[in-house]
Every structure is written in structure tokens, then in C-alpha cells.
């Protein structure tokens, strides 16, 4: 075949393939157009998973009579003029591809009346060709109806999943856009039934109540408005005149602010799909930022559990490139590290500041896994390909996990004995527990010290003066780490003074470490602190606490009396996250009575 330019309609179908992947893409593009048009009330009607029909009704500014036809031409847009405009995009759309792409693979009816015009327009297209156009009386705003998606591309149609799955994808999108725009009212109906509705009150929390249910939403912590920019960037720019004079290479200071809601450590889910990220009102996928959110919960969540988070990042549009992919769910930041740090800081600070202290006195209010299992949420996720309206729990949660996860709190345990001078055997109402004494004690100490620190105690642990102050020789790097953490270690009860060269003098140690070799304990702590930098003050403190706990906790190899074991177990029962140590490793193995029966072949 000789080389030839493809006919327009073939080219349009190919292009449509990129924009219109499935019904949810149509819903997304149409809703984004409504948002760009300033609509405050957006209704989405879906029939049969969207393949039969998707209709979006908005009260936006409408399309002027003389522009309705060009709106369906490729690369026709009212949102962008010059290539420079690409640098500062403030609208959701800008590629001028959605309407022609949708029209190329379906039958579209447009009814619109622009602000300031008396008469509206009705336009009908089939496979991208205009088949009808008339003036029509209409309410202000736009109604776009898409029918019979992929009717003219049978190959694509075969790739559509069941109506349930496809409408699930649409619902996922609508919940995300509702989170991004709490000031707009969204309504989603599926085959005539309302599946989701936000109030448009402007309060993100109201949207989250709709999505997650009142119980869960009420537990979420609001991210504090960060007081200032991360790093010393601001000070450097205002203060010095000499060192930082590279105006052309150094980007002007654009604050990156983070707002939203995150779950307290006691509320968590089994996968990361509850972490939603938004940049300037656009839902995005970003592995690195998702990781930043997870990192902020380090040591706070049991292994394999993930927070709920709605993270809204506001950043100057020139700092972010949204033109990476036609679906625009991936972005590139000019300074990705800055954004990463801002997100991690904001989440971490929120979780640490506001996380409720252990609610020992009212265990019934404990917000654990069991609570949310009963919460029916209308939300589905693309990755799970769930159909709309299914109870999430049945599908998402592996049945096997429920036994272990059924509550984070420990039931009351009876100590049976110790084995290998390392593990405590205990009996609970649901079987046998084998508890790692060191890991368990680490967790107990960690929560006690964190509570003391969060309660504003100057020194979360008492200090004990050494009868004979001790000199310790350090290596250069150890000394450097020690100096960096000296204040924090001081708060913990260490009294350490320079003693010339790389030698330091230890005068006092945290009481928690009494009985340990002070020099060895200090060196171990310093070595642990040396691994990995940290970003925020709270995190530095937390790292110190973690490493002091590690030194202070009972070791494997230590024989414990029955009373000591019983005391440790009581403390562990009172912990918020008794099942993991502060490093995220398990503190215990649980063998249920049922498992024991199975193992012994009783059933």
C-alpha cells in the first residue's frame, strides 16, 4: 500500500481512542467542560453503564449560537490561544479534543443557550457528522447527550466491561470530581436511580460524608494550613543579597499549599486506593506523592494497611505540567521534591498534632477495621473494577484477613508463660497469642513517650544522672549525627557534652535506659538516627523516641517473671496499635482456636 494521508473520519476515530477509553472518559470530559463553563450544578445521567447513554446537564455559560459547530472540530477550544498559554493552564480542558472525539464514536445531541442570548441551539451529530441543527428555546446552560458509544467501532465495543463495572468507573470519577469541587453540586443517576449527590456547600467534609459515610468522615483529620513554606527558601530570598543571586535559574517563589483530610492512625484500609490526590482541582495519579502520604504514617499503621487521604495541592500553574497525557491524570512538577516535602510535612504534622491519644477509657469508640466494615460506602475504584452499588467489604477485603484484623485492639489476654526467653505465650477468647516481648515492649514504650511528647511534656522520659560520668569516643560521622540530634536527645533525658576531639561526656541518660550500658545505648541510638534524613521536627523527635525505645525495651534473652509479663501485656492491650512495633514489624502471632482445630485435624 502506498503511503497516504488517512481520511478525516478515520483519523478522528484513532484520536478518539486516546480520549475516549470507556464510558467514564465521556463522563469525565463532559463534566470537565461543564466545570470550565462555570457551572455550579451538574447532573449526570447514566443508562446501562453509560454505553447506552450519558447525559450531562449544566447551568454554565453555554455555547454561543455561532460557535456550536466549531466546538466539534478537532483542536477547537476557547481555553487556549498561544503556546505560552500552555504554561499557565487554569481550566480543566485545553486540548480541544473531547467533543470531536466523543462525537466520532457515538451519537451526540447538544442543546445549549449561551449567557446573553435569547435562543438556544440544538445540534445533532452521528459519527462526527452533523445531521441536524435548529434554533431552540432552552434553559441557560448546556445539555450534552451521548448515546450508543462505539456504535460505529465494534472492535472497541467488545472491550467494554459489564454495565455494572462501567457505571462503577463513572461513579468513581464523579466522587473524585466532587471532592475536587466541593462548591459545585453534583448529581449522578444510574438508570433513573440517584447514586450520588453532593450538596455544593463548599465544604469538602460534606462531600466526604457523602462518599465515606458520616461515621468515617467524622473521624478524619483536617490538614492544617501550613504556616510557611518548607525549607529555608523564603528566608534565603528575603534575607541575603549575595549568595542567591541567580534570578534566571532560580524559580520565583511559588508557594505550594496542601489542604484536605487524612485519617487518624486508628482508621485504615487495606489498599492505597483511598488516597486521592488533587492538583489545582485536578485528580491525579502520582506514585511518589502517594508514597509521601504513606511515609507520613510510618510506624503508625499496621503493616499492609493504608490511610484514607484527600490531599489538595495548590500550586502556581506554571509550576506544573498537565499536558503529559490526553487523560490528564498524570502531571509533572517543576520541583517535585518541594511538592513531596510539602505533602509529607502537612500530613505528618496533622497526624501527629491531631491524632487522638489512646482512647483507653472508651474502647467502644475505637475506630478500627470492624467499624468501617459495617459502613456501606457508595464508592468504587477503577483498580478493583467493582460494580457500582456492591458492598466494598465483600469484594475488597480478603476474607482471610478478617479474623486477624477484626479489631486492632487486643482482647484481654491471660499470660501462660515464656518460651525461648523471647516470646510470651498468652491465651485470649479467640485462641493463642505468641508475643515478641521486645517488639511488644517497644510499642508500649513508644506510645507512652509519644503521648508524653504530644501532651507537651518537656521531657517525655525522666533523666537519670550517672554516678560516674562516662567518656565515649565516637567516629566523625557519629559525632555529626549526635550534634544534629543533640537537642532532641536532651529532651529525652540525655545529658551529653563535648569533651574535645571526637570524644563526648555522658552525664545522664533517660531513665528508661537504666541498667543498660550507657555508652553502648547512645552509640546504637546515634547509629540508628544516622540512617535516613528527616524532614520535619516532629519526625526527628519521633525518630529519637523510636530509637530510644528500641534500646530501652526488654530484649530477647531476658527472663521475665509472670508479673512482668502480665504488666507488659496489660500495657500492650492499652496501645492504639498493639499489633506492630514502631518499625512496623508484627509484635505477635495469633493462632485462632479454629486454626488450632484445623492443625490438629479436628475439622
Minimum distance of Mg ion from residue 274's CB (angstroms): 28
142 binds Mg ion (CB under 5 A): no
Mapping DSSP to helix (H, G, I), strand (E, B) and coil, where does residue 147 land?
strand
User: What is the Cβ-side half-sphere exposure of residue 90, based on CA atoms within 13 angstroms?
Assistant: 3
Specify whether the CB–CB gap between 536 and 542 falls below 8 A. Answer: no
**E strand or H helix at 468, and its extent?**
strand 463-473
Given candidates 20, 37, 208, 289, which one binds ligand ADP under the rule CB under 6 A? 37
DSSP-derived secondary structure letter, 598:
H
Residue 187 interacts with ligand ADP (CB under 6 A): yes or no: no
CB 114 to ligand ADP: min, Å: 8
Distance CA 149, CA 16 (A): 11
Of ligand ADP, Mg ion, none, which one sits near residue 387, judging by CB under 5 to 8 A according to partner kind? none
Stretch that binds ligand ADP, among 33-41, 197-205, 463-471, 595-603 (CB under 6 A): 33-41
Residue span binding Mg ion (CB under 5 A) among the ranges 92-100, 229-237, 379-387, 563-571: 92-100
229 binding partner (options Mg ion, ligand ADP, none; Cβ < 5 to 8 Å by kind): none
Q: Does 105 bind ligand ADP (CB under 6 A)?
A: no
Query: Which of 98, 292, 492, 512 contacts Mg ion by CB under 5 A?
Result: 98
Please choose, out of 31-39, 113-121, 235-243, 490-498, the segment that lies near Mg ion by the rule CB under 5 A: 31-39
Residue 311 touches ligand ADP, criterion: CB under 6 A: no
Residue 247's alpha-carbon distances to 130, 242, 250, 251, 253, in angstroms, are 53, 12, 5, 7, 11
How far apart are alpha carbons 571 and 399 in whole angstroms? 30
CA within 13 Å, CB half, 209: 12
Binding mask 78-97 for ligand ADP (x = CB under 6 A): xx-------------xxxxx
Footprint on residues 153-172 left by ligand ADP (CB under 6 A): none
Contact criterion met (CB below 8 Å) for 266 and 367: yes
Q: Contact between 99 and ligand ADP (CB under 6 A)?
A: yes
Among 25, 142, 290, 299, binds ligand ADP (CB under 6 A): 142
Q: Tell me the closest approach of the beta carbon of residue 199 to ligand ADP, in angstroms.
A: 21
Stretch that binds ligand ADP, among 26-34, 189-197, 228-236, 393-401 (CB under 6 A): 26-34
Using CB under 6 A as the binding rule, whether residue 63 contacts ligand ADP is answered as yes
Question: What is the C-alpha to C-alpha distance for residues 147 and 109, in angstroms, rounded to an integer?
Answer: 8
Give Cβ neighbours of residue 261 (< 8 Å, ≥ 6 apart).
204, 205, 208, 220, 221, 222, 223, 308, 309, 310
Distances (CA, A) of 415 to 134, 434, 453: 83, 10, 31
Cβ-based nearer residue to ligand ADP, 99 or 415:
99
What is the contact surface with ligand ADP in residues (CB under 6 A)? Answer: 29, 33-34, 36-37, 58, 60-63, 71, 76-79, 93-99, 142
Amino acid at each position: 500500500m502506498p503511503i497516504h494521508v488517512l481520511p478525516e473520519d478515520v483519523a478522528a476515530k484513532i484520536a478518539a481512542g486516546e480520549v475516549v477509553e470507556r464510558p467514564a472518559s465521556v463522563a469525565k470530559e463532559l463534566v470537565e467542560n461543564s466545570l470550565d463553563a462555570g457551572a455550579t450544578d451538574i447532573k449526570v445521567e447514566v443508562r446501562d453503564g453509560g454505553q447506552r447513554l450519558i447525559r450531562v446537564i449544566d447551568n454554565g455559560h453555554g455555547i454561543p449560537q455561532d460557535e456550536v459547530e466549531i466546538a466539534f472540530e478537532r483542536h477547537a477550544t476557547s481555553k487556549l490561544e498561544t503556546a505560552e498559554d500552555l504554561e499557565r493552564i487554569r481550566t480543566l480542558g485545553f486540548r480541544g479534543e473531547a467533543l470531536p472525539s466523543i462525537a466520532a464514536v457515538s451519537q451526540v445531541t447538544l442543546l445549549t443557550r449561551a449567557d446573553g442570548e435569547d435562543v438556544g441551539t440544538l445540534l445533532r451529530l452521528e459519527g462526527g457528522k452533523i445531521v441536524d441543527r435548529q434554533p431552540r428555546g432552552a434553559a441557560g446552560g448546556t445539555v450534552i447527550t451521548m448515546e450508543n458509544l462505539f456504535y460505529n467501532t465494534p472492535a472497541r465495543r467488545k472491550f467494554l466491561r459489564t454495565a455494572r463495572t462501567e457505571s462503577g468507573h463513572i461513579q468513581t470519577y464523579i466522587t473524585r470530581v466532587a471532592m475536587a469541587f466541593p462548591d459545585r453540586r453534583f448529581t449522578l443517576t444510574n438508570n433513573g436511580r440517584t447514586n450520588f449527590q453532593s450538596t455544593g456547600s463548599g465544604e469538602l467534609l460534606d462531600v466526604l460524608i457523602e462518599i465515606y459515610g458520616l461515621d468515617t468522615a467524622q473521624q478524619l483529620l483536617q490538614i492544617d494550613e501550613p504556616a510557611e513554606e518548607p525549607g529555608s527558601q523564603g528566608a534565603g530570598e528575603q534575607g541575603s543579597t549575595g549568595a542567591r543571586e541567580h534570578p534566571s535559574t532560580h524559580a520565583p517563589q511559588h508557594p505550594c499549599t496542601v489542604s484536605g483530610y487524612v485519617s487518624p492512625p486508628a482508621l485504615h484500609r487495606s489498599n492505597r486506593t483511598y488516597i486521592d490526590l488533587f492538583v489545582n482541582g485536578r485528580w491525579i495519579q502520582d506514585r511518589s506523592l502517594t508514597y509521601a502520604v504513606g511515609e507520613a504514617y510510618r510506624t503508625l499503621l499496621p503493616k499492609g494497611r493504608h490511610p484514607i487521604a484527600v490531599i489538595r495541592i495548590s500550586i502556581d500553574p506554571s509550576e506544573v505540567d498537565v499536558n503529559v497525557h490526553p487523560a490528564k491524570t498524570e502531571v509533572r512538577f517543576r520541583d517535585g521534591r518541594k511538592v513531596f516535602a510539602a505533602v509529607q510535612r502537612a500530613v505528618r504534622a496533622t497526624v501527629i498534632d491531631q491524632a487522638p491519644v489512646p482512647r483507653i477509657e472508651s474502647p467502644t469508640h475505637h475506630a478500627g477495621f470492624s467499624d468501617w466494615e459495617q459502613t456501606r460506602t457508595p464508592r468504587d475504584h477503577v483498580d478493583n473494577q467493582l460494580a457500582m452499588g456492591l458492598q466494598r467489604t465483600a469484594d475488597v477485603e480478603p476474607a482471610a484477613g478478617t479474623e486477624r484484623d477484626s479489631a486492632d485492639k487486643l482482647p484481654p489476654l491471660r499470660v501462660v508463660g515464656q518460651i525461648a526467653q523471647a516470646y510470651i505465650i498468652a491465651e485470649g477468647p479467640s485462641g493463642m497469642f505468641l508475643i515478641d516481648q521486645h517488639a511488644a515492649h517497644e510499642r508500649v514504650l513508644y506510645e507512652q513517650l509519644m503521648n508524653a511528647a504530644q501532651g507537651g511534656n518537656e521531657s517525655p522520659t525522666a533523666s537519670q544522672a550517672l554516678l560516674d560520668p562516662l567518656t565515649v569516643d565516637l567516629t566523625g560521622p557519629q559525632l555529626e549525627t549526635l550534634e544534629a540530634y543533640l537537642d532532641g536527645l536532651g529532651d529525652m533525658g540525655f545529658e551529653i557534652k563535648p569533651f574535645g576531639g571526637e570524644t563526648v561526656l555522658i552525664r545522664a541518660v533517660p531513665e528508661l535506659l537504666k541498667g543498660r550500658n550507657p555508652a553502648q545505648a547512645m552509640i546504637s541510638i546515634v547509629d540508628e538516627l544516622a540512617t535516613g534524613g528527616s524532614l520535619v521536627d516532629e519526625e526527628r523527635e519521633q525518630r529519637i523516641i523510636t530509637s530510644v525505645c528500641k534500646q530501652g525495651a526488654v530484649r530477647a534473652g531476658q527472663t521475665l517473671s509472670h508479673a512482668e509479663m502480665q504488666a507488659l501485656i496489660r500495657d500492650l492491650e492499652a496501645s492504639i496499635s498493639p499489633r506492630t512495633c514502631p518499625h512496623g514489624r508484627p509484635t505477635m502471632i495469633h493462632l485462632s482456636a479454629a486454626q488450632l482445630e484445623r492443625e490438629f485435624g479436628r475439622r
